[in-house]
Amino acid sequence: MRPTSDPAQYRHLSKAFLRYIAAEKRYSPNTVRNYGQTLDRFDSFAMAHRGHAPTLADLDGWKTADFRAFLASRRRDGVGAQTIKLDLSALRSFFKFLSRETGLKTAALAALRSPKAPKKLPRPIPMQAATALSGAADPEDDWQAHRNHALFALLYGAGLRISEALSLDWGDLPKPGQPLRILGKGGKTREVPLLDIVRVRIGTYRDALEDSTSDAGGAYLSGNAPLFLGARGKRLSPAVAQRALRLERAALGLDDSATPHALRHAFATHLLSAGADLRAIQELLGHSSLTSTQRYTEVDAGRLLAAHSAAHPRARG
């Protein structure tokens, strides 16, 4: 297939690209949606920039200045450097796909430099707060409260992303002494230990759920049933889980830095503070690059400097 002036060819390959990153690259639904939105914005810009619907034959002749003009339009929309960087990443993936399918030239886009986004460090929550969130629910509470505490315990005890935890089924739980297998970003599988205290929280939740849904004949506890169940009998949604944590942190007097992802950050920084190897933490978190994990060393160093400044007599001089 060669680039043509038919807009239908471009539209067809745009849809094929989104199917490709969803099915073959196994990008998350959020990433696929974001890439689709970037392509929609690029299409609108290309139409205004050239005065007609984008075609592959036209894009084949674009210069670096044309792509730079698109990024400049995004800046005028008021978006930050990180968003522009993500837009550029989506376009590069898309044009790489087009090049493979049609031979479209991509040198002009490859020559464009990504904007430098300000470094954003993780925001872990203190150990005391993480321990409180992952503690036991009141024995008199309903099964949903026990579910929430089991979820928070898993996020903090295993360093999972909220999407990874909510995708688990009952059948995914390993036998005692065996690791939990997690399907992470990009379809990569990793193994993490399942702490005894996390097993206890999940067991308490299971007992409460079984008592409340006994008339369902155990369907909610079968191997292929969601581990974390929503009130309507479906898989618990991230939005409901996040709302549950907001309510819990308010009850505990915690600030808004206490989020599901902050529990994952707490997992990493607390392991690092206890002397864990950075490579081991990388494997447990499922980071493809050690650079992502190294951010936690900066967080830990920042805490040491803050403690030094607060405590050392000369620092207050």
pLDDT (average), residues 282-286? 87
Residue 202, pLDDT above cutoff 90: yes
pLDDT higher than 80, residue 239: yes
Task: Give me the percent of the chain exceeding a pLDDT of 90.
Answer: 48
Query: Taking CA 173 as the corner, what is the angle to CA 170 and CA 174, rounded to the nearest 5 degrees?
Result: 150
| CA 261, chain centre distance (Å) | 8
Out of 6-20, 105-119, 130-144, least confident range: 105-119
Amino acid at 181: R
Q: Which of 215-219, 264-268, 279-283 has the least mean pLDDT?
A: 215-219
DSSP annotation of 190: E
The predicted pLDDT at position 117 comes to 58
- pLDDT category of residue 308 using cuts at 50, 70 and 90: very low
Is residue 31 over pLDDT 50?
A: yes
Which tokens belong to 52?
A: 């007609």
Q: Would the pLDDT of 163 be above 90?
A: yes
pLDDT at 302: 56
Query: What is the structure's pLDDT at 307?
Result: 47
Burial of 90 (0-12, 13-18, 19+ CB in 10 A): buried
Which residues have a catalytic role annotated?
161, 185, 261, 264, 287, 296
Q: Is the pLDDT of residue 116 over 80?
A: no
Is the confidence at residue 74, as pLDDT, over 50?
yes
**Could you give the CA distance from residue 206 to residue 177 in angstroms, rounded to a whole number?**
19
- What local confidence, expressed as pLDDT, does residue 201 receive? 95
- Residue 203 token pair: 């067991």
124, 125, 126, 130 alpha-carbon torsion, rounded to 10°:
-120
Identify the pLDDT of residue 283: 87
Nearest to 143 by CA among 155, 134, 151: 151
Over the chain, what is the mean pLDDT?
86
Mean pLDDT of 161-186: 92
Question: pLDDT category, 47, cuts 50, 70, 90?
Answer: very high
- pLDDT higher than threshold 60 for residue 311: no
